[in-house]
């Protein structure tokens, strides 16, 4: 009585009295089921809506048994009604949610979303799958998903491996080539996920495939551009070094010889002056001789910058030591050098790159760091050659270097490109008020970065 909103004395005892309580839309179906049970004498159950006297609609589940007399005539119906309104509402919400999800999946066009059974056969197919893979649902449902793989991938067992991996790991994700219905290939990002029932047992797989061919092509173009840029950068370094060698040779062969001859001539003129010559003339000759000597020294420093002979003659440690000594003399900044024995087995381009990087690092120290001390070290250990240039200056924020100081940023870029051009790894450690360390690492045994 409570379910129907009635008192006990209001509960009808006949079908004719009961049917008015049934929702009008369910009344005919409910009567038909009851009449069939009365005719056949079988138990029955049914779900239908009722309308309470206050107008509230509820859903009930009815189970009933027909009792008959000795002659087989039905005499009464005994049944149980259970109010299942909340359960029915929850079921409807689940069904609606599932329907919304189904419609969403079926109408997604940028992703191929489909379901596979445990053996890899397609059981569902959305519009995105049709657009990307080229198959209509009626063409592909029931077929094995290995038809999406290139033949060589099928031969090596990729389809089965992916499902097995997803089953074991709970998810499989990768990128690779896939084949459309028309035979064309595209680069796909694929996610395979096992579908588990309420007991945790796998009942199949969902696969989401996204065509990322354009992204792949853009990445390849970017890598190709980066490779071309490295080749160009390496070529520019080679041209620059060739020009430096030529200029150093010209300074030595022409300007140097002329200055030497000029100095000799000045000495001859000075020694040939007659006694009693004007003191001013002798003084001018001495000034000219001193000026020639100073110019020769300056030219030698320029030549050393252009092409360090110590690097060619004695190796990288000796060249770095000479660089440190000259830098300290010119700037007044204390430089400590630590170097291993000459690294004769380093390729010449690597020697030169490390020297130029150290040179550029010292230039940055002189211009920007306000440092009092610099430490330069070249070490060899376990097949790794390492150059370190560390200062105790004011440092900087690496994230702001390009915006705050374009010249310093350009210097860092040059150092990085020099290192990468010879297969070395460049890194920078810096912070505000904590100095800067430039680090270059070269794997000798592998001929570059591992």
Contacts of 375 (CB under 8 A, 6+ apart): 335, 336, 337, 338, 388, 389, 390, 391
Q: What percent of the chain has pLDDT over 90?
A: 43
Average pLDDT, stretch 202-225?
93
The pLDDT of residue 75: 79
With respect to residue 281, please indicate whether it lies within any of the assigned structural domains: yes
Q: How many CA atoms lie within 13 A of 157 on its CB side?
A: 4
> Dihedral (C-alpha) 344, 350, 353, 359: value to the nearest 10 degrees?
-30
Average pLDDT, stretch 105-111?
72
Do 364 and 448 share a domain, yes or no?
yes
Query: What distances in angstroms separate CA 54 from CA 4, 5, 6, 51, 83, one per listed residue?
Result: 10, 8, 10, 8, 16
With respect to residue 93, please indicate whether it lies within any of the assigned structural domains: no
Q: What are 292-335's pLDDT values in tens digits?
A: 888 888 887 787 777 777 787 888 999 999 899 989 998 999 99
With respect to residue 1, please indicate whether it lies within any of the assigned structural domains: no
Q: What are 358-382's pLDDT values in tens digits?
A: 999 999 999 888 999 999 999 988 8
Can you give the CATH number for the domain in which 375 is found?
A: 3.30.565.10
Token pair 């680069």 is at which residue? 187
Q: How many CA atoms lie within 13 A of 145 on its CB side?
A: 30
Q: Please determine, for residue 405, whether its predicted confidence score (pLDDT) is greater than 60.
A: no
Exposed e or buried b for every residue in 98-128, given b needs 16+ CB within 10 A? eeeeeeebbebeebbbbbbeeebbbebbbbb
The neighbouring-strand residues paired with 172 are: 192
Distance CA 231, CA 237 (A): 10
Do 301 and 314 share a domain, yes or no?
no
Mutual angle of helices 279-306 and 213-250, in 10-degree steps = 150
Q: Are 374 and 330 in contact (CB under 8 A)?
A: no
Do 329 and 439 share a domain, yes or no?
yes
Distance CA 190, CA 343 (A): 49
Do 435 and 301 share a domain, yes or no?
no
Domain boundary among 211, 228, 247: 211
Distance CA 394, CA 371 (A): 7
Q: Are 181 and 163 in contact (CB under 8 A)?
A: no
Do 317 and 446 share a domain, yes or no?
yes
Residue 346 CB neighbour total at 10 angstroms: 20
Do 303 and 323 share a domain, yes or no?
no
Average pLDDT, stretch 403-432?
78
Structure tokens at 285: 């000759």
With respect to residue 357, please indicate whether it lies within any of the assigned structural domains: yes
With respect to residue 95, please indicate whether it lies within any of the assigned structural domains: no
Do 417 and 352 share a domain, yes or no?
yes
pTM for the full predicted model: 0.51
Can you give the CATH number for the domain in which 201 is found?
A: 3.30.450.20
| CA 275 distance to own-chain centroid | 84
Q: What percent of the chain has pLDDT over 70?
A: 91
With respect to residue 294, please indicate whether it lies within any of the assigned structural domains: yes
Q: Are 303 and 335 in contact (CB under 8 A)?
A: no
Q: What are 119-161's pLDDT values in tens digits?
A: 999 999 998 999 999 999 999 999 999 999 999 999 999 999 9
Distance CA 300, CA 290 (A): 15
Average pLDDT, stretch 270-280?
75
Instruction: Output the DSSP codes for 160-227.
Output: HHHHHHHHHHS-EEEEEEEE-TTS-EEEEEEEEEEEE-TTS-EEEEEEEEEE-HHHHHHHHHHHHHHH
Do 345 and 408 share a domain, yes or no?
yes
Helix (H, G, I), strand (E, B) or coil at 27: helix
Domain boundary among 307, 330, 365: 307
The pLDDT of residue 409: 67
| Sign of the four-CA dihedral 93, 99, 105, 107 | negative
Do 282 and 179 share a domain, yes or no?
no
Do 351 and 447 share a domain, yes or no?
yes
Structure tokens at 337: 């050098």
Do 233 and 194 share a domain, yes or no?
no
Q: Higher confidence at residue 244 or residue 117?
A: 117
- Number of residues that make up the chain: 450
* Number of domains the chain is built from: 4
Q: Please determine, for residue 94, whether its predicted confidence score (pLDDT) is greater than 80.
A: no
What is the radius of gyration, based on Cα positions, of the chain? 45
- How confident is residue 404, by pLDDT bands cut at 50, 70 and 90? very low
The pLDDT of residue 170: 94
The pLDDT of residue 260: 84
Please state whether beta strands 112-116 and 373-381 pair in parallel, antiparallel, or not at all (unpaired).
Answer: unpaired
The pair phi, psi for residue 426, each rounded to 5°, is -105, 135
- How confident is residue 357, by pLDDT bands cut at 50, 70 and 90? very high
Structure tokens at 428: 């920078």
The pLDDT of residue 403: 46
Distance CA 88, CA 309 (A): 92
Q: What are 150-202's pLDDT values in tens digits?
A: 999 999 999 999 999 999 999 999 999 999 999 999 999 999 999 998 888 98
Query: Which structural domain, as residue segments, surrounds residue 59?
Result: 8-87
Domain boundary among 211, 232, 258: 211
The pLDDT of residue 103: 67
Residue 267 CB neighbour total at 10 angstroms: 13
Structure tokens at 136: 């209509």
Structure tokens at 330: 């010119």
Do 142 and 159 share a domain, yes or no?
yes
């Amino acid at each position: 009585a409570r379910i129907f909103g009635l008192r006990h004395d209001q509960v009808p005892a006949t079908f004719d009295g009961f049917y008015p309580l049934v929702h009008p839309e369910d009344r005919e179906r409910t009567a038909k089921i009851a009449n069939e049970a009365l005719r056949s004498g079988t138990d029955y159950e049914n779900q239908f809506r009722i309308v309470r006297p206050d107008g509230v609609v509820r859903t009930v589940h009815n189970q009933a048994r027909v009792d008959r007399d000795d002659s087989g005539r039905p005499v009464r119906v005994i049944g149980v009604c259970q109010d299942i309104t909340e359960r029915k509402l929850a079921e409807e919400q689940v069904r609606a949610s599932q329907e919304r999800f189904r419609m969403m999946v079926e109408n997604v066009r940028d992703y191929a979303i489909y379901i596979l059974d445990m053996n890899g056969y397609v059981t569902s197919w959305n519009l995105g799958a049709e657009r990307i893979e080229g198959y209509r649902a009626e063409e592909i449902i029931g077929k094995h998903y290995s038809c999406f793989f290139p033949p060589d991938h099928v031969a090596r067992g990729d389809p089965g491996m992916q499902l097995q991996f997803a089953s074991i790991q709970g998810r499989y994700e990768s990128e690779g080539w896939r084949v459309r219905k028309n035979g064309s290939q595209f680069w796909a990002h694929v996610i395979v996920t096992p579908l588990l029932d309420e007991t945790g047992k796998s009942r199949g797989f969902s696969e989401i495939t996204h065509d990322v061919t354009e992204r792949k092509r853009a990445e390849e173009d970017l890598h190709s551009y980066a490779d071309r840029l490295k080749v160009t950068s390496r070529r520019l370094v080679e041209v620059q070094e060739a020009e430096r060698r030529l200029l150093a040779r010209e300074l030595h062969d022409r300007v140097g010889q002329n200055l030497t001859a000029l100095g000799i001539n000045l000495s001859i003129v000075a020694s040939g002056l007659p006694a009693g010559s004007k003191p001013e003339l002798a003084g001018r000759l001495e000034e000219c001789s001193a000026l020639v000597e100073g110019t020769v020294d300056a030219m030698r420093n320029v030549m050393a910058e252009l092409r360090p002979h110590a690097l060619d003659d004695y190796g990288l440690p000796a060249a770095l030591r000479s660089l440190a000594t000259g830098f300290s003399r010119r700037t007044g900044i204390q430089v400590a050098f630590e170097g291993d024995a000459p690294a004769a087995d380093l390729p010449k381009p690597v020697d030169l790159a490390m020297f130029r990087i150290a040179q550029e690092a010292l230039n940055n120290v002189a211009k920007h760091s306000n440092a009092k001390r610099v430490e330069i070290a070249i070490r060899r250990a376990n097949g790794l050659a390492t150059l370190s240039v560390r200062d105790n200056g004011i440092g900087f924020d690496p994230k702001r270097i390009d915006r705050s100081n374009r010249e310093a940023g350009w210097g860092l870029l040059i150092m990085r490109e020099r290192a990468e051009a010879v297969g070395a790894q460049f890194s920078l450690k810096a912070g505000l008020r904590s100095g800067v360390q430039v680090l270059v690492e070269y794997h000798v045994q592998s001929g570059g970065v591992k």
